[in-house]
């Protein structure tokens, strides 16, 4: 997010309809929360919206994420975690941070840019201990809360989670 590009006229919405033209989901390692949010947002936002995710530090792919996404017929495919520095585009209309350290970093990086930054505090399910089912339950809770928040924020009236 080093060099901002020119901001679209009319503020940070970026689109005539009022929604952001580009959204970045940012967390610590881009291995759990932000990739889930990226994939879930793709179901709600228009195809024309550029959606990405990143971490502030390098991370590794988490197999529990794949498991809970598969329950919703979603898959990350050959996706791999990436850092902010690895992003191809460095400007976003909206940065959604999912962890305190990511929020602090986003505010620092965007303080001289016309970028909207929102903080959605989200539990890190990798901190949960217990049986495989208890751990999966924590990951499901994160998936479901992100799906609900994305639907509320971006006007996705369609149900994103059916159980």
| CA dihedral sign, ordered 13, 18, 22, 28 | positive
φ, ψ of residue 127 to 5 degrees: the values are -80, -10
Nearest alpha-carbon partner for 50 in 93, 113, 96, 106: 93
Q: How confident is the model at residue 88 (pLDDT cuts 50, 70, 90)?
A: confident
Q: Which residues make Cβ contacts (< 8 Å) with residue 8, sequence separation at least 6?
A: 14, 21, 93
- Six-digit token pair at 161? 């989670």
Per-residue pLDDT tens digits for 90-149: 789 999 999 999 999 999 999 888 899 999 999 999 999 999 999 999 999 999 999 999
């Amino acid at each position: 997010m080093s060099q901002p590009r020119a901001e679209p006229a009319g503020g940070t919405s970026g689109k005539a309809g009022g929604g952001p033209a580009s959204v970045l989901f940012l967390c610590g390692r881009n291995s759990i929360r932000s990739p889930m949010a990226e994939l879930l947002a793709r179901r709600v936002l228009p195809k024309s919206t550029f959606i990405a995710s990143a971490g502030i530090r390098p991370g590794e792919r988490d197999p529990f994420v794949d498991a809970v996404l598969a329950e919703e017929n979603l898959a990350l495919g050959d996706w791999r975690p990436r850092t902010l520095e690895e992003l191809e585009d460095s400007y976003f209309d909206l940065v959604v941070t999912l962890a305190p350290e990511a929020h602090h970093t986003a505010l620092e990086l965007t303080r001289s840019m016309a970028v909207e930054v929102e903080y959605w505090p989200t539990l890190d399910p990798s901190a949960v201990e217990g049986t495989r089912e208890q751990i999966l339950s924590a990951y499901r809770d994160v998936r479901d809360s992100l799906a609900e928040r994305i639907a509320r924020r971006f006007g996705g009236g369609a149900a994103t989670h059916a159980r």
